[in-house]
Amino acid sequence: MSGQQAATAILSGVDHLRLGRSLRAIRRSRGLRQVDVAEAAGCSQALISAVERGHGASLSLATLCRIFAAIEADIDCVVRYRGADLDRLLDERHAAATMAVLPLLGRRGWQAVSEVTFNHYGDRGSIDLLAFYPPSRMACVIEVKTEMASAEETLRRLDVKVRLGSGLVQERFGARPVGVGRLLAVIDSTANRTRVSRLAPLLEAAFPLRAAALRQWLRAPGPAGGGLLFVRVICAGTRMRGSRRVRRPRSAPGAAAVRGRP
């Protein structure tokens, strides 16, 4: 299947009427004309009109992304696989990464709770790990990532969680913290390290502490700081460094079984 055919297959399941209504609503809220969006997206006004009327099924994913980028909006593709099986696969890796961070905190005297949900004046979500260090009354909001995707979105959401962290710590631990730090825990993989290195100018400002400096801060947390930690996880009995290459087992003609193994 070619790239164009694959993109068409992906878009075949999209609700293009809703997509068109969304484009029209956002465009009007920003005070833009169809021709304004067309010029910014590098296409015709007739094409914008067709998309708004729900006739965007023949367009490529790249074209639709370019149109919505012109109004500062994003398109998310939803992956579906065997009902809830995909959620189980994704949750397994995320849960394993979360469980890898908990012992690191416990050995240094931190108290931690997982999956802390919040709903505060329209800000909704959950904190992967909320930790509190009683000796110095420091708190830390920990975001666990299986893959580094959008750094901007990660930082934006984490800012909200840190802002609400003080009140959540008081609710969960019964103490008002003197400060709230932030920790980004990422599964250790070549892809994630490459992505973090590429985003270094953006990430270093929010997560200046790494490796030994971060571990030292966890042992004796001072003023609210932030750090990035790569974690190795164990999932389904196998140690993983992020993504793994899938290899086909070799088989030889006439190979005999040895102690129950092929």
Confidence band, pLDDT 50/70/90 cuts, at residue 139: very high
Cα-flanking dihedrals φ and ψ of residue 254, to 5°? 75, 15
What pLDDT score does 191 carry? Answer: 86
Q: Where are the beta strands (DSSP E) in 17-171?
A: 111-120, 123-133, 138-145
- Give CA–CA dist 139/125, Å, rounded: 18
> What secondary structure letter does DSSP report for 12?
T
Taking alpha carbons only, the member of 232, 234, 140, 231 closest to residue 179 is 140
What pLDDT score does 48 carry? Answer: 94
CATH of domain 3-69: 1.10.260.40
pLDDT, one tens digit per residue, over 47-62 is: 999 999 988 888 888 8
**pTM recorded for the entire structure:** 0.60
Across the chain, mean pLDDT equals: 81
- Give CA–CA dist 165/170, Å, rounded: 9
From-to residues of CATH 1.10.260.40 in the chain: 3-69
* Relative orientation angle of helices 34-41 and 45-52, to the nearest 10 degrees: 110
Q: What is the mean pLDDT of residues 217-240?
A: 77
Taking alpha carbons only, the member of 223, 147, 238 closest to residue 185 is 147
From-to residues of CATH 3.40.1350 in the chain: 85-240
pLDDT, one tens digit per residue, over 97-122 is: 999 999 999 999 999 999 999 988 87
Q: What is the mean pLDDT of residues 77-82?
A: 65
* 162 has a pLDDT exceeding 90: yes
Overall CATH class of domain 85-240:
alpha beta
Q: Is 238 left (phi over 0), alpha (psi -120 to 50) or beta?
A: beta
- Which residues, in sequence order, are bridge partners of residue 186? 145, 230
**What kind and span of H or E run contains 233?**
strand 233-235
